[in-house]
Amino acid sequence: MFKTAITEMFGVKYPIICGAMMWLCKPKMCAAVSNAGGIGNLTAANYETADDFRAAIRETRKLTDKPFFIAITLLPSMRITPEHHKMYVRVCAEEKVDGIEFSGTPLDKVAGMEAVELLKNAGVRMFHKVGAVRHALHAQKIGFDGVYAAGIEEGGHPLNDDVTTMVLTRKMVSSLKIPVVSVGGIADGSGLAAALALGADGVMMASRFIATKECEVHDNIKQELIRRQEFDTVIYGKSIGLQGRGLKSKVLEEVLAIEARHGGFEELIPLLSGQKVKEAWETGDVDYAPLMVGQSIGLINDIPTCAELMERMAAEAKEHSARAAKLCGN
């Protein structure tokens, strides 16, 4: 039985959290992770109106009575505006959601301390996904309940400090008084055991949850993640201040070529369109749009259910922890 700050805070079986995935983290997927003993994720940017967002939260609650997180990304977007961000916060407070995973710009810089206080008064737990200790300290200072230590291995938008998960986790644990969740390069129980050994109170995974039976993505994508290796991702978007890690593909070759000749934002944005990503997830065409996945794809070998995945991770974590204890003479 796991007993960490995360399992205690939310009353869950496993200290395993599903990370934000645009177009994929919707009610069914979110509930599947939570019902299996982890913490599911409902990604706010899938919804553009307060009514639709509120309906998605309530639909998820019909599918599970377990805790789940909302993911709110506070980064520049062609579709989601600062007004959307404020709406997401307001609805989360009104619905008294269990917790929120913020990423990008600090919440107080986007919506003011009043947004932080609104959520705290509603009993919403707040975590910020960060790639540097300085950002984690800011989250702690303004009253967040925990942070995600997101290393360069992660898919999505790793910070351009380019620090690995192992170093970042240990550095944050030794620098903070609030719980730390390890993110990046984790897809199995050995990664979970390593994170706990470094002092983290849990792990967050996204790429690994794509290759599960419950994830509503084209099967070609799942098979591609099994086929690809840890070296089959690439960092892009540095030149426009929106660094991302995605699966190597024809479209990302084009993106990198444009960046190499110092092409501008206007030239890159059509290739990075969120709508194109949505179509790629649905059609299974990995070369059509940038698909954000992390280096952990090198550890994906099958397509289990969410329950099978986390049960296996728990058993592996205990096995690897016991091995480490034995090697240390215990």
Nearest in space to 130 (alpha carbons), one of 113, 154, 97, 98? 154
Confidence check: pLDDT of 330 > 80: no
In the three-class reduction of DSSP (H, G, I as helix; E, B as strand; rest coil), residue 122 is classed as coil
**pLDDT-above-70 percentage for the chain:** 100
**pLDDT-above-90 percentage for the chain:** 91
Confidence check: pLDDT of 242 > 90: no
Do 30 and 44 form a contact (C-beta atoms < 8 A)? no
Check if CATH label 3.20.20.70 holds for domain 12-217.
yes
pLDDT given for residue 269 in this prediction: 85
pLDDT given for residue 235 in this prediction: 96
Instruction: Enter the pTM of the model.
Output: 0.96
Confidence check: pLDDT of 115 > 80: yes
Do 43 and 22 form a contact (C-beta atoms < 8 A)? yes
Cα–Cα–Cα angle for 153, 60, 305, rounded to 5 degrees: 55
Confidence check: pLDDT of 75 > 90: no
- How many other CB atoms are found less than 10 A from the CB of residue 309? 26
105-133 mean pLDDT: 97
Do 272 and 258 form a contact (C-beta atoms < 8 A)? no
**Across all residues in the chain, what is the average pLDDT?**
96
Of residues 240 and 304, more confidence is placed in 304
Cα–Cα–Cα angle for 278, 299, 236, rounded to 5 degrees: 45
Burial of 205 (0-12, 13-18, 19+ CB in 10 A): buried
Could you say which DSSP state residue 156 is in?
B
pLDDT given for residue 265 in this prediction: 83
Confidence check: pLDDT of 251 > 80: yes
Please count the residues of the chain. Answer: 330
Confidence of residue 24 (pLDDT cuts 50, 70, 90): very high
Confidence check: pLDDT of 56 > 90: yes
pLDDT given for residue 76 in this prediction: 79
pLDDT per residue over 270-329, tens digit each? 898 889 999 999 999 999 999 999 999 999 999 999 999 999 999 999 999 999 999 998
Nearest in space to 98 (alpha carbons), one of 45, 50, 145? 145
CA 249 to chain centre: 22
Confidence of residue 157 (pLDDT cuts 50, 70, 90): confident
Give CA–CA dist 59/51, Å, rounded: 12
Confidence of residue 11 (pLDDT cuts 50, 70, 90): very high
Nearest in space to 248 (alpha carbons), one of 210, 281, 208, 290? 290
pLDDT per residue over 180-238, tens digit each? 999 999 999 999 999 999 999 999 999 999 999 999 999 999 999 999 999 999 999 98
Nearest in space to 249 (alpha carbons), one of 267, 209, 276, 210? 276
pLDDT given for residue 196 in this prediction: 98
